[in-house]
């Protein structure tokens, strides 16, 4: 039972002007597809074959570079597409808003903290909002395709919002202006989906 590239729930041009069509086509159709194929090749014939991606990631042998990079790449991008929407933006509400306010005081302080984590991640990686059991939320970042469900990575907990800050995620449209890309991301965040993940994982 091999992993398959998930379809987007919106068109490649739906996140314009914040994320451009060409980037979406290449990012989903080439990069994510590549991680998916390489993950399948890396686990074929091993005892990881048939396990869920969550089980593979939480039980990751961090010395297994092929599974670490491609399993992370498969999971991280699947999360990334789902937490964006052409109808996104604004602010969270309900229990997620309460948890953010408890941790950071207010939404703007959370936004600054998340944006700083994304902007200062050196080289390639991800910025995350994670939820710990009990409902405490925390911002962190991780290098390459690692994520906080892997042993010893980032803030731990379960990622409910992720932002890809690899250059392939923004360079066509933003070139070296990563902070502009990070700022634009807030216009497409699907807070309904982030809240759903928060409620599922808290």
Summarize as ranges the residues that interact with Mn ion (CB under 5 A).
164, 166, 169
**In angstroms, how far is CA 185 from the centroid of its own chain?**
12
Shortest Cβ distance from residue 72 to Mn ion (Å)? 10
Token pair for 196: 């759903």
- Exposed, middle or buried, 134 (CB in 10 Å: 0-12/13-18/19+)? exposed
**Cβ of residue 170: shortest distance to Mn ion, in angstroms?**
10
Between 74 and 114, CB nearer to Mn ion:
74
Task: Tell me the residue number closest to Mn ion, measured at CB.
Answer: 164
Q: Where does residue 16 rank: exposed (0-12), middle (13-18), buried (19+ CB within 10 A)?
A: middle
**Minimum CB–partner distance for residue 193 and Mn ion (Å):** 18
Nearer to Mn ion, 146 or 164 (CB): 164
Closest CB to Mn ion among 10 and 107?
Answer: 10
Nearest approach in angstroms of CB 166 to Mn ion is 5
Residues 6+ positions from 179 with CB-CB distance below 8 Å: 115, 119
163 versus 194: smaller Cβ distance to Mn ion: 163
The tokens for 94 are: 């309900």
């Amino acid at each position: 039972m091999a992993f398959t590239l998930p379809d987007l729930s919106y068109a490649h041009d739906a996140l314009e002007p914040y994320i451009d069509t060409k980037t979406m086509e290449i990012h989903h159709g080439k990069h994510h597809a590549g991680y998916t194929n390489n993950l399948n090749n890396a686990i074929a014939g091993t005892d990881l074959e048939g396990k869920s991606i969550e089980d593979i990631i939480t039980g990751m042998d961090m010395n297994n570079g092929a599974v670490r990079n491609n399993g992370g790449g498969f999971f991280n991008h699947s999360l990334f597409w789902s937490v964006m929407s052409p109808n996104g933006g604004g602010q969270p509400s309900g229990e997620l808003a309460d948890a953010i306010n408890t941790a950071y005081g207010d939404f703007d302080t959370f936004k600054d903290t998340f944006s700083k984590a994304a902007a200062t991640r050196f080289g390639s990686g991800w910025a995350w909002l994670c939820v710990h059991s009990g409902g405490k939320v925390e911002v962190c970042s991780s290098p390459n395709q690692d994520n906080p469900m892997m042993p010893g990575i980032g803030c731990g907990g379960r990622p409910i919002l992720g932002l890809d800050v690899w250059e392939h995620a923004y360079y066509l449209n933003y070139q070296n202006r990563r902070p502009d890309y990070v700022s634009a991301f807030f216009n497409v965040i699907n807070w309904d989906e982030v809240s759903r993940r928060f409620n599922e994982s808290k």
